[in-house]
Chain A
Amino acid sequence: MVIVPETISGRQEAQSPSRMTPPALRLRKPSQPAVTSDSVIRAEGVTIRYADFAAVRDVTIEIPDRQVTAIIGPSGCGKSTFLRAINRMNDFIPSMSISGLLTYRGQDIYGPKSDAVDLRRRIGMVFQKPNPFPKTIFKNVAWGASINGYRGDIHELVERALRRAAIWDEVKDKLNQSAFALSGGQQQRLCIARAIALEPDVLLMDEPCSALDPIATARIEDLIDQLKTHYTVVLVTHNMQQAARVSDLTAFMYMGELIEFDATDKIFTTPSEQRTQDYITGRFG
């Protein structure tokens, strides 16, 4: 499956976003294909600007359900900007504007009916550095569900999230200790547990292992492989070997453009584009 960026004419440029106001107005042309059943995130001609600078240019991609999709590319290629656009984390940057169509399960992420808070509950995010709250391990995981009015058994929810994040056995006897007492790798898995406690549909991971040692990285990579049975994972990484190890599909971005998107084994053995070839073999970037 190769998804080639395609130009969508008739787009309207976005206004500067605010937290509650959708930053762009998009038009769907009748001729555009319908969302395929296994695609969770779909971008059609998405361009994201910071003031006059286009960080992401005319990206068209379909991210499939229950698979790990890695986005690779050199620094400044727009991969994190694109990732953050998926759950509207870029809304907090005043100069950001977006055009084109970005949908989550067929719903326009930046449409007038889109609720950013609800969207982020469905599309969770794990950041580069582990960022646990200054609370106990238990409260870190329970917090999101509590403020969202969770009415079930909170202990069961916390245990399930910690188990899915493959950290339960390490913390089950110290749930009331501070999260800061954990190692970096454990903190990152705790943050993943915190994200999945909200029962999201999609997990966005922005360089989740860059602050971790090789052992902790291996644990997270194993975890990512397990997570895809329950969640769609989109992973941004500088580590090409990591992308090769954990992802089913890999997208290569360069200077804001999506150059190639294909099965990971194809990208890392016989990429179709010379720029992909040059990047993965370290000829540039």
Chain B
Amino acid sequence: MTTHFVNLLEDLRRRVARMASLVEDMVQEACESVTDTKEGLPDRVIKRDNEVDTEEVAVESEVIRLMALYQPVGSDLRLLCAILKINNDLERVADCAVNIAERARYMTEGAEPHHLETLKEMGILVRNMLRNAIQSFVMEDIETVHKAFVEDDHVDTLYEQTIKRIVADGAASSDGMASQLDVLSVAKNLERIADHATNIAEDVIFLSTGDIVRHGEAVLPSKEE
């Protein structure tokens, strides 16, 4: 039965890796749809979201089933807990990709070039973070995971810069405000993807060490609670 359980865990890990790969592709295409005018790219991203939603439910069901039937402990328990959370983060990343793709339908021609440059830079960073986080989960590689935290700070800085520029542009002239709001929405969704990638990285640390490193440092409940 143990070998059977180990095989089921590996199947599940591979399934999440495939789902992660699909979400990564969606983010890539969503970012491209912001800067390119390639026909049908946003629709392609939006269409694939259903696939991710279905897979998210299937993975969650399998985690619950394995927990109920096998009562895992130790690293097996940590793996299932991490998968449950990573699964949720991946689904939210896919939602963000859809939001970006929906904005991209309208904004390409109206957006200021400097905004597009910033969004492009953010997109590269965010995709890199997501790739590192997913890779660290698949390989269970704690070294790769730390890069995500550094890049998240950079993404946050770019996001704040974008807000300041939009405010400054809006103060100077109200022309093109709709396009500015689209830029803001894309930037916000990219920033959220970076946060989800950071969450995944934190879950990989938990998977590997058992440490909960959210909120900047290990936060453990007191015994009295």
Contacts and interface: CB of A to CB of B under 8 A. Distances in A.
Interface of A: 240-241, 244, 268-271, 276-277, 280-283
Nearest to A278: B74
Interface of B: 1-2, 5-6, 71-78, 209-210
B73 A281 contact: yes
Contacts of B1: 282
A269 B72 contact: no
A268 B77 contact: yes
A281 B9 CA distance: 12
Nearest to B5: A282
Given A269-B210, A270-B209, A270-B210, A280 B74 contact: yes
Contacts of B74: 268-271, 276-277, 280-281
Judged by DSSP, the binding face of B is helix
B72 A281 contact: yes
Contacts of A271: 74
A111 to B, nearest CB: 36
Contacts of A280: 73-74
A63 B75 CA distance: 27
B73 A244 contact: yes
B76 A269 contact: no
B2 A269 contact: no
Contact of A277 (B2, B71, B75, B209): B75
A175 B74 CA distance: 46
A240 B209 contact: no
A141 to B, nearest CB: 36
Given A282-B2, A282-B5, A283-B2, A269 B71 contact: no
Interface centre among A270, A276, A281, by most B CB within 10 Å? A281
Contacts of A269: 73-74, 77-78, 210
A56 to B, nearest CB: 25
A89 to B, nearest CB: 30
A270 B5 contact: no
Contacts of B78: 269-270
Contacts of B210: 269-270
Interface centre among A241, A276, A282, by most B CB within 10 Å? A282
Contacts of B5: 282
A268 B209 contact: no
Nearest to A271: B74
A134 to B, nearest CB: 39
Contacts of B71: 241
A38 to B, nearest CB: 15
Given A280-B73, A281-B75, A281-B76, 5 more contacts: A241-B71, A269-B73, A280-B74, A281-B2, A281-B72
Contacts of B6: 283
Interface centre among A241, A276, A283, by most B CB within 10 Å? A283
Nearest to A279: B74
Contacts of A244: 73
A270 B6 CA distance: 18
A269 B72 CA distance: 9
B208 to A, nearest CB: 10
12 contacts: A268-B73, A269-B74, A269-B210, A271-B74, A276-B74, A280-B74, A281-B2, A281-B73, A281-B76, A282-B2, A282-B5, A283-B6
B8 to A, nearest CB: 13
Nearest to A277: B74
Contacts of A276: 74
Contacts of B76: 281
Nearest to A285: B2
Nearest to A283: B2
A244 B73 CA distance: 9
A240 B73 contact: yes
A280 B75 CA distance: 9
A272 to B, nearest CB: 10
A-B pairs with lowest CB-CB distance, top 3:
A270-B210, A282-B2, A268-B73
B14 to A, nearest CB: 19
A276 B77 CA distance: 14
A268 B76 CA distance: 10
B66 to A, nearest CB: 13
A244 B75 CA distance: 15
A88 B1 CA distance: 38
A222 to B, nearest CB: 19
Nearest to A244: B73
Nearest to B81: A269
Contacts of A241: 71
Contacts of B2: 281-283
Contacts of A277: 74-75
Nearest to A241: B71
